[in-house]
Structures are given as C-alpha cells and as structure tokens.
Amino acid sequence: MSIFEYNGSALVAMVGKNCFAIASDRRLGVQLQTIATDFQRIFKIHNKLFLGLSGLGSDAQTLHQRLVFRHKLYQLREERDMKPETFASLVSAMLYEKRFGPYFCQPVIAGLGEDDKPFICTMDSIGAKELAKDFVVAGTASESLYGACESMFKADMDHEELFETISQALISSVDRDCLSGWGGHVYVVTPDEVTERILKGRMD
C-alpha cells in the first residue's frame, strides 16, 4: 500500500459561474481501520481561497500550518490577501523545496481571482501543477471521482446546482472506494458568501 493511501481521502473541486465548490470525505483511517469520522481536509485561507489536502493526515496538518504562517506573513507585508494563482505558486515552491523527502500530500487549491473568476488546480507531492477549467480531483477515490465528475459536470452552473452536482459526485464515488467515505464536507464559495454543508453518507 502506498503511503498516500494510508489514511484514505477523497477531494474534489469544481467550477461554476462566478463560483466554485470544494468537497472532501470525512474519514480518517489507518489502512482499513477507521479512526475518526470528522477529519478535516479542507482549510480556509481567506474568504475567497480554500485549500484541500489529500494524502497522509499528519503531513496535511503540518503543511496547512506552514501555509497559514506564510500567508499571514504575506498579509502583513502586502496588506492584502493572496490571489489564488500566487498561492498555488507558493504551495508548489514549498513542496518542491522538500522534493527529496516530500510531504505525502496532494493539494487541491480553489479560489476566486480577479473579476471573481474561479481558479482551481491540483498538484503532486513535489509541486507539479495541473490547472483545469472544470474540475480537479485527488485522493484514493480519485479514479471514481474522475468518472462521476466527467459525466455530471456542466459549464456555468449556479451555486445551488453546483452544490448538488459536487455532492452527488462525491457521495457516489466514495461508495466505490473502501478507504474513503463516511459522509462529506462541502464548501460552496460565491463572491458574496461561503456556504458550508455536511453530507451524510454510508457509515461503513
């Protein structure tokens, strides 16, 4: 078993019309044994920028703390929030610094940039970025998430339709992966508000 699959995870970010959604499962396991059912994988950097970290749970928490620290330094120096594109470059550089002993995480970054244009991207554990205009996935359930998102995604969805689509994609995908699941955690972000919802899924 790969170290990336040790705790299990499912992460997906999807783009709508001037909005985006990011969702994850809630299971923390040690291989096939479930340890917690309320594990947080999605972190708010600021109101229009969110970070999801799939992979090893301990590395995800360490990386999140370091990124919050770097973002606060940026806010103090620049007196503004970081743009999603800039933040993605920061994450990529931080991961590549540790390329010989990497953080075992695959980040998903989602944010609203200039003119509230949604930006999503994912990268591997050494910071190779993959940009997308529709959706990105990561984690042990990524293969089934690709299929579900590919069939359900439509361009220019409003925030309610986007929530419905990403939730159905996540719930149906984690049912096909025994290392992730136990409900879902969804953030839908528009220029005016952030909506957070907890999904109930199969508890097995």
pLDDT tens for the chain, residues 1 to 204 = 899 999 999 999 999 999 999 999 999 999 999 999 999 999 999 999 999 999 999 999 999 999 999 999 999 999 999 999 999 999 999 999 999 999 999 999 999 998 999 999 999 999 999 999 999 999 999 999 999 999 999 999 999 999 999 999 999 999 999 999 999 999 999 999 999 999 998 887
Q: Is 182 exposed, middle or buried (0-12, 13-18, 19+ CB in 10 A)?
A: buried
- 191-200 CB burial, b ≥16 within 10 A, e <16: eeeeeeeebe
pLDDT of residue 123: 97
pLDDT of residue 203: 82
pLDDT of residue 176: 93
Structure tokens at 123: 């990268």
CA dihedral of 134, 170, 196, 106, whole degrees rounded to 10: -70
Look up residue 183 and give its DSSP letter: S
pLDDT of residue 131: 95
Neighbouring residues of 179: CB distance < 8 A, sequence distance ≥ 6: 5, 8, 9, 27, 29, 31, 32, 140, 141
pTM attached to this predicted model:
0.94
Q: Is 203 exposed, middle or buried (0-12, 13-18, 19+ CB in 10 A)?
A: exposed
pLDDT of residue 27: 95
Note whether 201 and 181 are within 8 A (CB).
Answer: yes
Hey, CA dihedral for 89, 91, 93, 99, is it positive or negative? Answer: negative
CATH code for the domain defined by 3-199:
3.60.20.10
Amino acid symbol at 80: R
Amino acid symbol at 188: V
Spatial distance between the Cα atoms of 102 and 125, rounded to a whole number of angstroms: 6
